[in-house]
A and B are shown apart, each in its own frame.
Chain A
Amino acid sequence: MDVKKLAQLASEGQAGTEIQKLIALPWADAFRISLRNVTLRIGRAAITAAGIILGIAFLMSVLTSKVAQEGIDRSEANKFSHSVETIQSVDQGTPESKKEADDAKAQRAGKQDWLVVMSLLVCGVGITNSMLMSVTERFREIGTMKCLGALDGFIVRLFLIESALLGFIGSIVGVLIGHLFILLSVCIKSGFSTPAKMDWKEMGFYILISLVVGTLLSLLAAIIPARAAARMPAAAALSTEV
């Protein structure tokens, strides 16, 4: 241990008259730290992500079955219009009965929308709870960072990046699970030609929507815990025993 050299290093900058009035946490560094937090606390991250995966998988399954059903309906309708031309005598329902069927369909869709919203809400509460726990177990770390010169904003930034990352990864997994599961079950039920009948442009749009919803949901859920953690006085954060 070369203390003389250390002392010299320790006093460097003390003599300088130029004072750099700057406190910063560049995004690249913040991202690196957050990513490290996710990968090294993988157990905790997995629990948080599981909430998002389930919520998004459900959303995706509903959307996929909707697109698949539309695809099947469309091809049926095409077939029907062909058959109408050839067999004129067949009477396929009055306008009234067709309207009734449409009403029932709309009602079913409404119920499904409600279910999706509810499941996303539940999933949001779950993520908030999980983030709250993960913030609580890191109080001491937060206090230390504040001692080292972190502003409240840095702490919030770190937690938000972390939850956005988790939200995005969880959404991808959720989309894959929900989509593939429903696709498979539709294929088994209505034949393996179904994917060809589906409108993939619409499907792609829904996948994008699901990813955005998942990431935003996770981000929103983290805001309250992150702010609470950042606002804590450094001394209080340091003295917490967890």
Chain B
Amino acid sequence: MAVIKCPNCGAETEPTSAGILSVCPQCQHDLRDEAEKQMREARKERAKTIARDDSVTTHEYIVRTKGLKKEYRMGEEIVHALRGVDLDVRRGEYLSIMGPSGSGKSTLFNMVGGLDKPSSGTCFIEEVDMAQLDAFELAWLRCRKLGYIFQTFNLIPVMTALENVTLPMIFAGMSTDEMMDRGRELLDLVGLGERLHHKPYELSGGQQQRVAVARSLANAPAIILADEPTGNLDLQTGREIIDLLKELNMESGVTIISATHDLKMIDVSDRVVHIRDGQVERVEKRADLKLEIGTMGEH
């Protein structure tokens, strides 16, 4: 991390190796806000660069798949859900996976999310081969590095909104006080501060999905995986969720991978991967898409 300039006395200080610097050694001014601001700026800048620039170095790929294949046995028949998918996802990217139902996009989503094992091929998350992980490491990865959002919200029905959001924090070993504070704050920020103790069935679809978004952020993941997040929502609410995800992506630089066939998603995606018959049909960049949408509008 870069040096932090004290807004009070102007002294520039190098943060400690852990990246923590709370007070200015010169004038004892509280530097936490300043440090956070700088960190955010840096991340935002990086996200913008990634969105613009194609020439990012290879280690900036957060997810890579190589020759991913998945076969299911359905009675006598063998169904090829994926027939060798090579996909690289950049850090901080907003990627949409599109395709008709049965195209294998949910299967791909499951592989990337570590929910299912491929028949052959490899999937790397942050240079770690998922196939090499044991159950404990996989759980750790899901808990700390990945956040999931589902079409059917998948909140735990017997738990309140707050308990749903704090559940991943329990798994992560957070202390109760810290957990409650963070949970409250997250829910407050998605606009559900008044409904902390409501059960999922007492919330509307949009509200449930917002609880799910808050839950996916519980342990500050590097990647948010969203499987048809707008599939069960009306247009307006779907739009809100998409905007929320996009802004999160822009502000915090979290990578978002979303399986969808919602066309509204195209607007906000950096890249769109089209899947057909278990293969990548084509990859579109946002710039090209904008052009397409523009020409369509002129008819």
Contact = CB atoms under 8 A, between A and B. Distances in A.
Nearest to A21: B140
Interface string A30-58: 00010011001100000000000000000
B94 interface: no
Count chain B CB atoms within 10 A of each CB in A15, A18, A147, A235 and give the residue with the most. Answer: A147
B40 interface: yes
A25 B253 CA distance: 30
Contacts of B39: 11, 15
Nearest to A149: B143
Count chain A CB atoms within 10 A of each CB in B43, B139, B172 and give the residue with the most. Answer: B139
A238 B39 CA distance: 37
A97 interface: no
B18 interface: yes
A13 to B, nearest CB: 4
Given A8-B251, A9-B189, A152-B135, A144 B156 contact: yes
Given A23-B139, A145-B167, A151-B135, A6 B217 contact: yes
Interface residues of A, number: 50
A10 B252 contact: yes
Nearest to A147: B148
Contacts of A148: 142-143, 148, 167-168, 171, 215, 218
27 contacts: A3-B189, A3-B247, A6-B186, A7-B40, A7-B248, A7-B252, A10-B217, A10-B221, A11-B253, A15-B1, A15-B39, A21-B140, A23-B139, A23-B140, A23-B172, A24-B171, A40-B158, A147-B154, A148-B171, A148-B218, A149-B140, A149-B143, A149-B219, A150-B139, A151-B139, A152-B135, A235-B116
B144 interface: yes
**Size range of the interface on B?**
35 or more
Given A22-B173, A23-B171, A150-B171, A7 B251 contact: yes
The 9 closest A-B pairs by CB, nearest first: A149-B143, A7-B251, A7-B252, A235-B116, A13-B220, A6-B189, A11-B252, A235-B115, A3-B247
B85 to A, nearest CB: 16
Contacts, number: 152
A233 B115 contact: yes
A94 interface: no
A30 to B, nearest CB: 9
Interface of A: 1-26, 29, 33, 36-37, 40-41, 140-141, 143-152, 154, 233-236, 238
B143 A12 contact: no
B254 interface: yes
A122 B165 CA distance: 41
A148 B159 CA distance: 14
Contacts of B142: 146-149
Given A6-B190, A150-B139, A152-B135, A37 B158 contact: yes
A3 B158 contact: no
Given A1-B189, A144-B156, A238-B154, A10 B220 contact: yes
Nearest to B152: A140
Given A10-B252, A22-B173, 7 more contacts: A3-B244, A6-B186, A11-B253, A22-B172, A24-B173, A147-B146, A234-B115
B120 interface: no
A134 to B, nearest CB: 12
Interface in B215-244: 215, 217-222, 244
A40 B159 CA distance: 10
A146 B215 CA distance: 14
